[in-house]
Structure 1
């Protein structure tokens, strides 16, 4: 069976309910898409948790070496890594009890989707979370 992203209505529900977004591969370079997207989400009111083993902090938030090191609940795991590198993050997202495994625009990996779904996570691939939030005009509290 081929993969299909959730409906736009469901994505709107996901983004409306989400409070915490762990961003795997968040860069401290303001010119990188991961930084731009994360900054926009943070400005919109989402709690951003950077996951980058090479840095201590980004956007004023402490960085974690791995998803497994995050000491609080995560709603969405948003991944900025190459398609061939995302499988371990799907497993980690499942182990931490995240609700959604989101692969950014241009990132698609069926094996990672299958793993995340086996943990009960909803999966979104090849979509930009910032664009979806803007299109759907997600209200923030």
Structure 2
């Protein structure tokens, strides 16, 4: 099976397999932007995988600030108390750049843009700010491909 580390669209760099493995296996705090109580949304299942299968702490980030999977939600990244390791971006690609800029502003260590969420300029800004970047990939797909969870 082909992972997102094996391919890149246009001139975009391929995702770095060691970065993906490190982000998924190192215990961390993941802010999941776009996570709500809507069980039909991909964010709901991916957050459950991150929390229950991989042992990460999740922080739901959604305009309604809902509690999801037992984790209290916030309405924006700036409302999170304490450090954030990964900002997992489940928003439309047109909105992703603003979320990446917020991730940089709060001192997140990485941004993970989900399948179909591609913003090369935002990814470049994140890399320039020293963040790890994974784009157009899903932890709930990449993890099992790596034998995780």
Q: Where does structure 1 lack aligned partners over 5 or more consecutive residues?
A: none
Tell me: CA distance 1:9–1:56, structure 2 relative to 1, closer, same or farther (3 Å): closer
Corresponding position of 1:97 = 107
CA deviations on 1:103-132 (whole Å, 9 max, x unpaired) are 001110112112212221111110001111
Report runs of 4+ in structure 1 exceeding 4 Å deviation: none
> Is 1:134 equivalent to 2:147 in the alignment?
no
Give how far 1:85 is off: 0.6
The equivalent residue for 1:41 is 50
Deviation (angstroms), 1:18: 4.1
1:118 lines up with 2:120 in the alignment: no
1:5-24 C-alpha deviation (Å, 9 max, x unpaired): 33323311222224111000
Which residue of structure 2 aligns with residue 84 of structure 1?
94
Any residues of structure 2 matched to 1:5-20 within 5 Å, and which?
A: 5-20=14-29
CA contact (8 A) 2:101 2:126 kept: yes
The answer to whether structure 1 residue 31 and structure 2 residue 40 are counterparts is yes
Rounded to whole Å, the distance in 2 between the matches of 1:61 and 1:73 is: 16
CA-based RMSD of the aligned residues comes to: 1.7
Q: Is the 8 A contact 2:113 2:134 kept in 1?
A: yes
Q: Deviations over 1:36-84 (max 9, x none)?
A: 1101111121101000121331111111111111001111100000111
Q: Classify the secondary structure of the residue corresponding to 1:9.
A: helix
Q: Greater CA deviation, 51-60 or 3-12?
A: 3-12
SS in 1 for 2:30: strand
Unmatched runs of 5 consecutive residues or more in structure 2:
1-9
TM-score by length of 1: 0.90
Question: Corresponding residue for 1:58?
Answer: 68
Q: Which moved more, 1:21-30 or 1:49-58?
A: 49-58
